[in-house]
Amino acid sequence: MKSRYGLLSTLTAIVLFIVLETLSLLLVVERGVVQRYKVLGAVHAVESWFWQRTSQIGYYLNYRAENERLAAENLQLRQQLAQYAAARQQLDSLVRIVEPGYTYIGANVIRNTVDRQHNFLILDRGSGDGLEKGMGVVTARGVVGIISSVTRHYAYVISLLNTDQSVSAKLSGNASFGPMSWKGTDPREAVVSEIPVHVQVAPGDTVFSSGYSTIYPPDIPLGCVVETKVSKGSSQELTVRLFEDFRSLHGVYVVQNMRKEEIGELYEGAR
Amino acid sequence: MKAPANLLFFVLVFLLQVVLSDYLHLGPWLYLCLIPFIILHIPLSRSPHYVMLIAFALGLGLDVLSLGVPGLNAFAAVMAAAPRKTFYRWLVNRDRQDQTEVPTLRGVGIAKYSKYLGAVTAVYLTAYILLDCVSFRPASFILIKFAVSTAASLAAGLLLAVAIQKRI
């Protein structure tokens, strides 16, 4: 009788083990952050409030560096604006100015991780500010990630520093492009793969976003090439030093592609 | 140490784990985990079902509170909790004479305690790191991360064991 009870206990323990591990794996595969926000909305509301306060303290402690960075960015944008104004004057009489098709919403990072394999950010803007799942997040110095879920006041962003993320990148001076993804160790290093072997790439070449997706606009500078190597004999793998330092992210822009739905409809129609 | 004080200590260890995971940037090479230490201190008389459920709750609680990938720590914690008693018999109580309810550093000695804690920690980290990194990261990265994390977590666990011993 005792041995029968022991066997039954062992069997139920094995079944429980399988059930708990399967449940864990399902959660890992799903990674539904929205679900967690719904289930534990109150917990995250408290956490978000706390992160916002702590991030504000951090911001005030680092405001000098942040101001210098913004001033430099402002100067660069003013220079670009002057160039565009001059170019527009020349082109106005020739062609109709085409709308760029993107709008930007400013947001602040209140939570950011860089030392995990699945890093994320929390922004202090949410659905109430027009943010939606699937929108890209950028800065003047690179792409940051994609919004995975939103609440009314906050957005959860899957960082580029994540095993699940890549961005279509192109090289300056030629039409070659390939996916760029994080290497997994240094927050400032990424890898661009699938660049054909015949394409000449030199250390120092700049890598930009290609714009071949509906998430990120084209021509955002991402980083510069520091190393090239041939991978599997058929393509090159470029190690890229990112311009954006994810460890000191504060102000970001959320990108809304005004023509995303139209492009999606075209794509669906073609299929 | 009395049971409520004991419970409070492990609640504090769990909160420390949340803070470590959430606010301390240790870099991608190191994952400091204290959950195996807590699993180890669940009384041995408890059934495997109870231990696995507690481990699952601890892991999932950590995943949610530190905004990690949900299920990652839960998977690793259950994996470490399941063979806990077997490790105890193999590494601590081979001759089956010791009837300790909770093995302590003073009770079983530092060598046996380290082996026991090290084995449970290694199982936890193997499950965690493989699920987190496999097929995305090179084997060298996974091996180094495993070695560094196991050594650091074992050291942290031993420090906590010394701390809890002083409270007894």
CB contact under 8 A, B48 and A36: no
A122 and A161 inside one domain:
yes
What is the end-to-end Cα distance of chain A in Å, rounded?
64
Q: What is the DSSP string of A70-94?
A: HHHHHHHHHHHHHHHHHHHHHHTTT
Domain extent at residue A36: 2-45
- Using the Cβ of B74 and the Cβ atoms of chain A, whether some distance falls under 8 Å is answered with yes
Which of chain B's residues have a Cβ under 8 Å away from the Cβ of A24? 56, 59-60, 71-72, 74-75, 78
- Using the Cβ of B4 and the Cβ atoms of chain A, whether some distance falls under 8 Å is answered with no
**Total tally of structural domains belonging to chain A:** 2
Work out whether the CA dihedral B87, B93, B95, B96 comes out positive or negative.
Answer: negative
A178 and A246 inside one domain:
yes
Alpha helices in chain B (DSSP H): 3-23, 35-40, 48-65, 72-81, 84-87, 105-108, 110-133, 139-167
Rg (CA), chain A: 23
Confidence at A91, pLDDT banded by 50, 70, 90: low
pLDDT tens digits, A146-170:
998 888 888 889 899 987 788 999 9
A23 and A133 inside one domain:
no
CB contact under 8 A, B75 and A40: no
**Closest CA–CA distance from residue B168 to any residue of chain A (Å):** 32
Question: Would residue A79 count as lying in a domain?
Answer: no
Residue burial A193-223, b: 16+ Cβ < 10 Å; e: rest: bebeeebebeeebebbbbbebbbbbeebbbb
Question: Would residue A84 count as lying in a domain?
Answer: no
- Using the Cβ of B43 and the Cβ atoms of chain A, whether some distance falls under 8 Å is answered with no
Does the pLDDT value for residue B124 go beyond 90? yes
- Two structure tokens written together for B44: 């041995």
A108 and A38 inside one domain:
no
Percent of chain A with pLDDT over 90: 17
pLDDT tens digits, A187-243:
889 999 888 888 888 888 899 988 888 888 888 889 999 988 888 777 888 999 999
Does the pLDDT value for residue A40 go beyond 80? no
Question: Would residue A74 count as lying in a domain?
Answer: no
**CA dist., res. A262 & res. A14, Å (int):** 52
Q: A264 or A106, which is more confident? A: A106
Mutate which: A30, A116, A159, A183, vs B, most B CBs within 10 A: A116
Length of chain B: 168
Question: Would residue A30 count as lying in a domain?
Answer: yes
Q: B120 or A88, which is more confident? A: B120
Q: What is the number of other CB atoms lying within 10 angstroms of the CB of residue B50? A: 15
Confidence at A92, pLDDT banded by 50, 70, 90: low
A9 and A56 inside one domain:
no
- Using the Cβ of B45 and the Cβ atoms of chain A, whether some distance falls under 8 Å is answered with no
Per-residue model confidence (pLDDT) at position A174: 75
Per-residue model confidence (pLDDT) at position B5: 59
Per-residue model confidence (pLDDT) at position A144: 92
CB-nearest partner of B28 from A16, A43, A117: A117
Are B67 and B29 contacting, i.e. CB atoms less than 8 angstroms apart?
Answer: no
Question: Would residue A129 count as lying in a domain?
Answer: yes
Which of chain B's residues have a Cβ under 8 Å away from the Cβ of A163? 133, 136-137
Residues of chain A whose C-beta is under 8 A from some C-beta in B? 9, 12-13, 16-17, 20-21, 23-28, 30-32, 36, 40, 43, 47, 111, 113-118, 120, 122, 163, 184-185, 247
Which of chain A's residues have a Cβ under 8 Å away from the Cβ of B63? 27
Bridge partners of A223? A207, A242
Question: Which residues have C-beta within 8 Å of that of residue A30, sequence separation ≥ 6?
Answer: B70
CATH code for the domain of A257: 2.40.10.340
Confidence at A95, pLDDT banded by 50, 70, 90: very low
Q: Where are the beta strands (DSSP E) in chain A?
A: 102-112, 118-123, 136-139, 142-150, 155-162, 167-171, 177-182, 189-196, 206-209, 221-231, 235-242, 251-257
**CA dist., res. A216 & res. A249, Å (int):** 18
Question: Would residue A68 count as lying in a domain?
Answer: no
SS3 assignment, position A35: helix
